[in-house]
Structure 1
Amino acid sequence: MAASALTRIKLTKRAVDALMATDKDWVIFDAELPGFGLKITPSGRKVFLVQYRYPPGRAGRIRRYTIGAYGESLTPDQARSIAVQVKGKLAQGIDPVTQRELLHAEALRAAQEKKRTIATSVEAIATMFIERHAKPRLRSWREYERMLRDYVLPEWGTRPITEIQRSEVTALLDAIEERRSAALADHVLAVIRKLFNWHAARDERFHSPLVTGMARTSITARARDRVLSDGEIKALWRALQQIPYPFGPFVQILLLTAQRRDEVAHMQWREIDGDLWTIPRQRYKNGRANTVPLTEEVQSILAALPRSGEFVFSTTGRTAISGFSKAKAATDRASAVTGWRLHDLRRTARSLMSRAGVSGEIAERVLGHTIPGVAGVYDRHDYVPAKRDALRKLAAEITRITA
């Protein structure tokens, strides 16, 4: 059906289907419901509308309220029903077009506010902090991520970071101290402080609610000097021999290599070449690669381990070992050795090397500590033979204690 002289017809499905496009837009109105019409574009698109004057009367401005495009989701009968509602609003003195514009503007403001809220939520800021700051700069970034995931985000994740009050931080730390320990509360506080300070440096509108004096323990109280006695080493070693992969052998290698927990936990098979294990600088604390000679005792333990993936120690075959707290608690029960941490094994190994006659400088190089002064700046020798000798003496001392 061409446009020709048509001005009004009853807009039924058959009639709408028969209407044909022309080289310009044209509108045909319904013969029964005044103002209800259909616009046909040159492309053939058909759009239902309501045309009216507002304010009512000849002096009012002609306005068009678009109902929607004709199709499976909008039939002529449905469009007619909507047109009746639009005309009902006119009868109440409401301009439907203006009302729609206001509702759209309000929805847009709400969407923008929601977007801003999400972008400034603690979870969003924490994600950026891990990706942009912790991962590139902190060897212990996984621990930061875990602390945030386990203790901070469940409480504040969806909240804007600007809403977090000092009293809320205190309440969170109180809960952690009551459920776990004051030391853990301080660890969480340290992560929150670093997160807040990082964000404050990026956004002048944010001011950290943290102040000095919020820690639960003193620096002196947090200092560790725990070294396992020979009796504890013997009891622990015997228990480790009965504890299955991955935790049992993992702790044995911690003591035999004197390396840090995460460095051993993320050991990969490709990093081992013969009797040398090279820890890449990307995951070593001082930012330099460290070559660790592997004694016969370490090689014997490694030879008995399964090779189910890239990581030497893994519970899934795809990721590095985790869940240290639960496994260590089981070890404490099996060995009856308590009050120690995995990091204490490193201090214990350092003490055993001194007892075995290893010089302080070489023992420090085994541990991967930064050597102070000119020697630390200019001496790039890897000291592999000396470190191999030191670790052999360490292994011999452990064997003597545990035999």
Structure 2
Amino acid sequence: MAVSIPSQHKRAAAFINALKPSAARQEISDSAQAGLYLVMQPSGALSWAVRTKIEGKPAKVTLGRYDDEGAAEDRVGTVIDPMQALNVTQARVLAERVIADARRGHDPRQQKIARTGLDSWFDDFMNTARTKGFKKGPVKASTADEYERIIAKSIKPNWTHIKDVRTIDYRDVEKLLAKLTPGAQRNAFAVLSAFFRWKPVLRAVGRNVIELADAPAKPAERERVLSHDEIKTVWNAAGKCGFPFGPLVQLLLLTGQRRDEIAELKWGELSDDLDAITLESVRTKNGSQHFVPLSPLAQTIIKSLPRITDADGKASEYVFTTTAKTPYSGFSNGKLALDKNCGEPALPEWRLHDLRRTAVTLMAELGVRQEVNEAVVNHRSGKLGGVHGIYNRHNYKNEMRDALEQLATRIASITANNVTMLPKRA
């Protein structure tokens, strides 16, 4: 006896989610709407179709792909789109309209729009990332910008031959990665992992393509910590670079924060007396609000910075900016200038992130407790993780301030030719 989709929406969704693919293509009719049926491919991909008569001849019209949540787009129910998401109720409404149009002599297939191409899918993916997000709300703006950069630079140019997202398999992923440098491979793989785990793509393709592809090798864990001589060299070079990159580098060393947390710093995130930064959860890697005390030396640097204005004379919200509209992002050119000002012999291979590791190491050498050190850099996997992190609600603000002032004093002594020794805060 043939089984059909139940008429009640929740029961219908449960029924569809329980379906299992077989070796052959399956068609499951709908009990509530005549002519409507669900197609399940051997891959597990699900799509809606309706059978009707157009100009007296039997015709099949593909309405869209199945999704238990459906879509909130206004065009659902008005346009035939093989890639649009349709839940049970939406598919029934659209099927009824298609059949009615066919009876009036209108061919609904002429209203189809092609949205199977990668450009459309990546556009929808990025729109979701910036608006709703995937699990914990919208992704950070800097992360979304990086997604778009990777898609535009590494993925799209190497997938121009792909016209339909449903045809992609793991070999396409591996061929793409083979064309990229190791760093670009890891970045592209990370973006594609999020893309193929995204529910609409998973529904359309029928499987998570990325799970079958060989992942790029992980980079060797970096242990680079700048020596005292190298700290002095970098500090001197940063001073020669000037605004905005020079003081940005110095604040990275004085605070131990991540590059983008300082590069995207806003004046509104600074306290009125400039003695602390408060980063909202959307600006941090672990999604937790973060308080960063500023030492007198860090305050002096910030007070010396210009307030950039736009063409209309309006002050920018960003501390480090050249356009007044967007935060500083010229890290490649900035690093080249910094290395040039470091002189000869050049510092062995180092990165801006090594300044964070260097700051943490200096504080440990000064006797700063591990939990305070982790609190400074907003790291939750060590002393501040697990049971300790759940039950210990102490904010360590005073200890963090003391630690960062000790760090600033040590940096002042290391770079004694450039900064004045600071008295310890009372």
**TM-score, length-normalised on structure 2?**
0.62
> 1:256–1:394: 8 Å Cα contact kept in structure 2?
yes
Task: Kindly provide the CA deviation profile for residues 149-179 of structure 1, in whole angstroms up to 9, marking residues without a partner as x.
Answer: 33223444884322334333223222222xx
The 1:398–1:360 alpha-carbon spacing in structure 2 relative to 1, beyond 3 Å, is same
Q: Measure, in 2, the Cα distance between the counterparts of 1:215 and 1:205.
A: 20
Shift of 1:133: 2.1
Q: Which residue of 1 aligns with 2:400?
A: 387
- Which residues of 2 match residues 240-389 of structure 1 at below 5 A? 240-273=238-271, 274=273, 275-308=275-308, 309-335=316-342, 336-370=346-380, 371-389=384-402
The residue correspondences of 1:2-401 to structure 2 (distance < 5 A) are 109=109, 112-115=112-115, 117=117, 121-133=121-133, 136=137, 138-139=139-140, 140-156=143-159, 159-177=163-181, 182-199=182-199, 203=203, 205-211=205-211, 214-217=214-217, 219=218, 221-273=219-271, 274=273, 275-308=275-308, 309-335=316-342, 336-370=346-380, 371-401=384-414
In 2, Cα distance between the equivalents of 1:119 and 1:349?
Answer: 43
- The change in CA–CA distance for 1:174 and 1:154 in structure 2 (over 3 A counts) is same
Q: CA 1:110–1:401 in structure 2 vs 1: closer, same or farther (change >3 Å)?
A: farther
Identify unmatched segments of 5+ residues in structure 1.
1-100
CA-to-aligned-CA distance 1:87-117 (integer Å, 9 cap, x gap): xxxxxxxxxxxxxx9xx978x6365142455
Residues 1:213 and 1:340: Cα distance change in structure 2 (over 3 Å): farther
1:122/1:153 contact within 8 Å kept? no
Displacement of 1:126: 4.0
Larger radius of gyration: 1
- Secondary structure of 1:136's aligned partner: coil
CA-based RMSD: 2.8
Q: Distance in 2 between matches of 1:354 and 1:126?
A: 41
Contact 1:130 1:145 in 2 (8 A): no
Compared CA separation, residues 270 and 290, structure 1 to 2 (3 A): same
Label 1:155 to 1:112 Cα distance change in 2 as closer, same or farther (>3 A).
Answer: farther
Identify which range, 196-205 or 334-343, moves more after superposition.
196-205
Kindly tell me: are residues 318 and 122 of structure 1, through their superposed partners in 2, closer, same or farther at Cα, counting changes over 3 Å?
closer
Contact preservation (8 Å) 1:125, 1:199 = no
Give, in whole Å, the separation in 1 of the partners of 2:319 and 2:336: 22
User: Which amino acid is 1:131 matched to?
Assistant: T
Call closer, same or farther: CA 1:154–1:105 in 2, change over 3 Å.
Answer: farther
- Tell me the distance in 2 between the aligned counterparts of 1:374 and 1:240: 41
Return the alpha-carbon distance in structure 2 between the equivalents of residues 270 and 130 of structure 1.
22
- What CA distance in whole angstroms lies between the structure 1 residues aligned with 2:205 and 2:187? 26
Change (3 A) 1:195 1:327: same
* Contact 2:196/2:202 (8 A) holds in 1: no
Give the structure 1 partner of residue 36 of structure 2: none
**Alpha-carbon displacement from aligned partner over 1:16-53 (angstroms, at most 9, x marks no partner):** xxxxxxxxxxxxxxxxxxxxxxxxxxxxxxxxxxxxxx
Deviations 1:326-355 (A, max 9, x none): 221232232222422222211110000011
The change in CA–CA distance for 1:353 and 1:305 in structure 2 (over 3 A counts) is: same
> Distance in 1 between the 2:408 and 2:322 partners?
27
CA contact (8 A) 1:256 1:349 kept: yes
Q: Distance in 2 between matches of 1:119 and 1:142?
A: 16
Cα 1:116–1:186 change in 2 (3 A) is closer
Aligned to 2:53: none
SS in 2 for 1:397: helix
Q: Which amino acid letter does the alignment assign opposite residue 317 of structure 1? A: A
In structure 1, what is the Cα distance between the partners aligned to 2:410 and 2:398?
19
**8 Å CA contact 1:293, 1:387 repeated in 2:** yes
Please give the secondary structure, in 2, of the residue aligned with 1:242: helix
TM-score (norm 1): 0.66
Query: Using the alignment, how far apart are the partners of 2:402 and 2:268 within structure 1?
Result: 24
* Identical residues among aligned pairs (%): 37
**Cα deviation digits, residues 290-331 of structure 1 (max 9, x gap):** 111111111111111111210111121111111212221232
Q: Pick closer, same or farther for the CA change 1:151–1:116 going to 2, 3 Å.
A: closer
Aligned in 2, Cα 1:265/1:401: closer, same or farther, shift over 3 Å?
A: same
C-alpha contact 2:295 2:405 (8 A) present in aligned 1: yes
Q: What are the ranges of 5 or more consecutive residues in structure 2 without an aligned counterpart?
A: 1-101, 309-315, 417-426
* C-alpha distance in 2 between matches for 1:115 and 1:331: 46
Task: Say which SS state the counterpart of residue 184 (structure 1) adopts.
Answer: helix
How far off is 1:225 after superposition?
Answer: 1.6
Structure 1 residues 198-234: Cα deviation after superposition (integer angstroms, max 9, x where no partner): 24675264323334562332x3x43222211222211
Residue 189 of structure 1 deviates from its aligned partner by 1.0
Partner of 1:12: none
Q: Partner residue of 1:22?
A: none
Q: Is the 2:129–2:144 Cα contact (8 Å) retained in structure 1?
A: no
Change (3 A) 1:192 1:115: closer
Moved more, 375-384 or 292-301: 375-384
